[in-house]
Amino acid sequence: MTSRAHKPVHLAVYDTFADWETGHATAHLARGGYEVRTVALLADRPVTTIGGVRIQPDLALAGLRPEDSSLLILTGADLWDTTDDLAPFARKARAFLDAGVPVAAICGATAGLAREGLLDDRAHTSAAPVYLDATGYKGGEHYVDADAVSDGGLITAGPTEPVAFAREVLGGLGVFEGELLDAWYRLFHDSDVTAYETLQGAQE
């Protein structure tokens, strides 16, 4: 636990982490009162993102317990499709969902969850149906052609939808709701300046 009103949000980090996919979500979670902590396979070794940014993790995956977290975020990475190195994160996602703690996965992380069987019975989305079909998973009938999908505590999105992904995360954790959530999305996704006025008015 932290001194804030919420349990932390845990952001999985690993080499080839896709920098652009979680920035909207983590920035506004932090502004909304959530501490964002990074979790890696090993806490004592920095990881390097696709953009070359080095991240020193806060804790090791083995020490992460669902009961200590508000949400686990899994971002895309080349390693999801080239090795089995990230499979432990998908197994941790199963533990979170089994414990009733939400998980949010974008881009390649959705393939990792597909391989773990976590998309077999839940509505979900990703980059494209054929991308997940290549994993051999059994959830094709539950694929939804949408920017982001929430079902049973699991949020999924494709690599081109970081704002929609953030919308589902922020709405799910109550950072923004209703009209404010819609205004936030219109501002950052559609560059709708009238939405800014709605957000500013709510803060006054």
Residues annotated as part of the active site:
107
Q: Let me know: does 186 contact 161? Beta carbons within 8 Å.
A: no
For CA atoms 179, 181, 185, 188, the dihedral sign is: positive
Nearest to 39 by CA among 118, 99, 92, 109: 92
Strand 148-151 and strand 154-157: the pairing is antiparallel
d(CA 125, CA 140): 10
Which residues in 41-184 belong to E strands, given as ranges? 47-48, 54-55, 59-60, 71-74, 103-106, 148-151, 154-157
